[in-house]
Amino acid sequence: MAKVLIIDDDREVCAMLTDLISCLEHTADHALTLEKGLSKAVSGEFDVVFLDVKMPDGSGLDIIGSILAIEFPPEIIVITGQGDSKGAGQAIKNGAWDYIQKPLSPKAILQPLNRILKYRDGIRSISRQAAPLKRKEIIGSSHRIKECLDTIAKAAKINTNVLITGETGTGKELFARAIHANSPRADKRFVVVDCAALPESLVESSLFGHEKGSFTGADRSTRGLVGLSDGGTLFLDEVGEMNLNLQKVFLRVLQERKFRPVGSKHEITSDFRVIAATNRDLAAMVREKRFREDLFYRLKAVHLELPPLRERLEDIEELVRHFASAVYSAQSMAPKELSANFIATLKSYDWPGNVRELVNTLEAAVSEGFYEPALFSKHLPSHIRIKSIQSAIAPKAAPEAERVIEERGIEERPEPSSGHLTYKKFREQVLARAETAYFQDLMKETRGDIKQACTLSGLGRTRLYALLKKHNISRMGWDQ
């Protein structure tokens, strides 16, 4: 018997779903607000959550990540009264199982519900048998990281190629090593090929080896990196830097698992597994004819996309404590207390250099507070502290408010509930209306793209989310 939670402000929808679920001999509960729904959903009691998009206290899409962050989270079926293809795409990207539109029919409800329950029965039995995942140095428990770990666990069990993408500093090699460490090839070599650093004149020799005397300076035979990876894993780092000629050569090696060392008359077989990584957009490079399409799809049998640190800020404190401990150990120092404002300041920054930048920042902060027992925000680099202050302070509203009031035709004279308004109250009400209009325009112009909205507004993500919530504006539904 499964437990189902319905988060919807429509009492009739809640009653209909509850009756239908009860007829299937499952139990159902409901919540009429996001706040109450989230509180119930993260309790760990439920198998499935039916989640409405438009709720009185915000968008249901915004709480998907929080629900999925718990241990063994429920599956989520998003329901809405509006046909919104972008909203559907965002729901699936956020981790929802399915997206269905009102009015709800029994068939539309029962099909995904039955699939989910069958799926969860299967993963329960698998989880009882599965060995714990080796995840050394992969720190975090956010939904995004859990998704990556799930991909690692699956990819490790099969022998297919894996493409890891992500911004610089997200830990692509770390995740590649985790796939290798959890695979049947773990006791063999993990061979790294830095495609950006291969010497132009010695590319084939470096990869495929050479025979003694095959060229000037070849005073002995070598196996090459592909040969060394026999039985193990060949990690192609920065594969987007590989030139077209080498791509053609390597494609054949990837297909045949055979190669000929420079100067040799015989081909050699190597049983290697390929994991490739890049911070480049290979799909765009394919369209621009700068990367072979056939090689791209060969490498992308399994795709692992690593999230930037700014999209998993809930992992910041765990990351900080882990890496700070490593710094203390390396410097033979006693651990320092991490103040609340130190962590808060780190969370307000967008981390363009990702985890690598965070580690460097921690080293600098420990150095700055070397003689002190605790770390505070004052020990952080100035550009991070400035960003935190800018995120916390609302932008100067007057000039922008005047423009918005004029362009949008906002009523400048709010009607007082009783008597005459004070100037302060009058100004607050006008600016509140102007702010609402400003953020509505911002969401429409950026089509709900938070990263672009932050760039245009000059606000940090945390501050922008707070203001959108304050004015009851959802980032979804602005693609018209």
Q: Is residue 90 part of a domain?
A: yes
Query: What is the mean pLDDT of the segment spanning 275-293?
Result: 96
pLDDT tens-digit readout, 343-358 = 999 999 999 999 999 9
Q: In the structure, what pLDDT confidence band is assigned to residue 480 with cuts at 50, 70 and 90?
A: very low
Predicted local confidence at residue 412, as pLDDT: 44
Q: Is residue 137 part of a domain?
A: no
Which of the 8 DSSP states describes residue 419? S
Predicted local confidence at residue 83, as pLDDT: 60
pLDDT tens-digit readout, 191-226 = 999 999 888 778 888 899 888 877 777 778 888 999
Read off φ and ψ for residue 80, nearest 5 degrees: -150, 160
Predicted local confidence at residue 272, as pLDDT: 96
pLDDT tens-digit readout, 446-457 = 888 888 888 788
| Same domain assignment for residues 289 and 148 | yes
Query: What is the mean pLDDT of the segment spanning 237-250?
Result: 93
List C-alpha distances in Å: 427 to 414, 423, 424, 440. Answer: 10, 6, 5, 20
pTM of the model: 0.67
**Which structural domain range is residue 205 located in?**
143-307
Residues 439 and 459 sit within 8 Å (Cβ to Cβ): no
Indicate the length of the chain as a whole number. Answer: 480
Predicted local confidence at residue 121, as pLDDT: 80
Q: Is the pLDDT of residue 240 over 90?
A: yes
| Same domain assignment for residues 375 and 294 | no
Which range among 152-161, 194-203, 235-244 shows the weakest confidence by mean pLDDT? 194-203
pLDDT tens-digit readout, 130-143 = 557 898 889 998 88
Who's near 378: CB < 8 A, 6+ residues apart?
Answer: 385
| Same domain assignment for residues 385 and 403 | no
Which of the 8 DSSP states describes residue 99? E
Which of the 8 DSSP states describes residue 261? -
Query: What is the mean pLDDT of the segment spanning 35-43?
Result: 93
Q: Answer with the one of 253, 278, 307 that is the final residue of a domain.
A: 307
Which range among 205-219, 368-382, 400-414 shows the weakest confidence by mean pLDDT? 400-414
Q: Is residue 27 part of a domain?
A: yes
| Same domain assignment for residues 115 and 177 | no
Which amino acid is located at 198 in the chain?
L
Which amino acid is located at 370 in the chain?
F
| Same domain assignment for residues 245 and 376 | no
Residues 322 and 364 sit within 8 Å (Cβ to Cβ): no
Read off φ and ψ for residue 100, nearest 5 degrees: -125, 155
Q: What's the domain count of the chain?
A: 4
Who's near 166: CB < 8 A, 6+ residues apart?
Answer: 172, 277, 279, 305, 306, 307, 308
Of 68 and 277, the one with more pLDDT = 277
| Same domain assignment for residues 336 and 447 | no
Predicted local confidence at residue 281, as pLDDT: 95
Predicted local confidence at residue 50, as pLDDT: 95
C-beta contacts of 292-295 below 8 A and 24+ residues apart:
292/244, 292/247, 292/248, 292/251, 294/251, 295/247, 295/250, 295/251, 295/254
Q: Is residue 480 part of a domain?
A: no
List C-alpha distances in Å: 193 to 4, 159, 211. Answer: 49, 19, 20
| Same domain assignment for residues 337 and 190 | no
Residues 142 and 162 sit within 8 Å (Cβ to Cβ): no
Q: Is the pLDDT of residue 397 over 50?
A: no
